[in-house]
């Protein structure tokens, strides 16, 4: 998947205290699977803002989180 696609996917954060998974909206089957494994799941509207810079043989690429205002740049 592209870096833009990766940034747009739902996020999951494992919180130590309290012991819970904070998740953005994921399919019901995925949430049920996590709960079946004993995870306490707390769905949140959104979390964090991420930026990505990646280096490949053809050079650098960058992307900004589509959840917030901004843009990625690499040179």
Lowest mean pLDDT segment, chosen from 23-27, 30-34, 47-51: 47-51
pLDDT at residue number 29: 96
pLDDT at residue number 36: 97
Show me where the domains of the chain are located: 3-64
Angle at 30 between CA 27 and CA 33, to 5 degrees: 150
Please state, in angstroms and rounded to a whole number, the distance separating the CA atoms of residues 75 and 58. 12
The per-residue pLDDT for range 27-46, each reduced to its tens digit, is 999 999 999 999 999 999 88
């Amino acid at each position: 998947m592209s870096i833009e696609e990766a940034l747009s996917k739902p996020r999951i954060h494992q919180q130590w205290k309290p012991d819970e998974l904070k998740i953005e909206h994921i399919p019901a089957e995925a949430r049920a699977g996590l709960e079946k494994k004993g995870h306490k799941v707390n769905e949140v509207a959104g979390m964090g803002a991420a930026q990505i810079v990646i280096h490949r043989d053809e050079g650098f690429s960058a992307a900004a989180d589509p959840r917030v205002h901004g843009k990625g740049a690499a040179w």
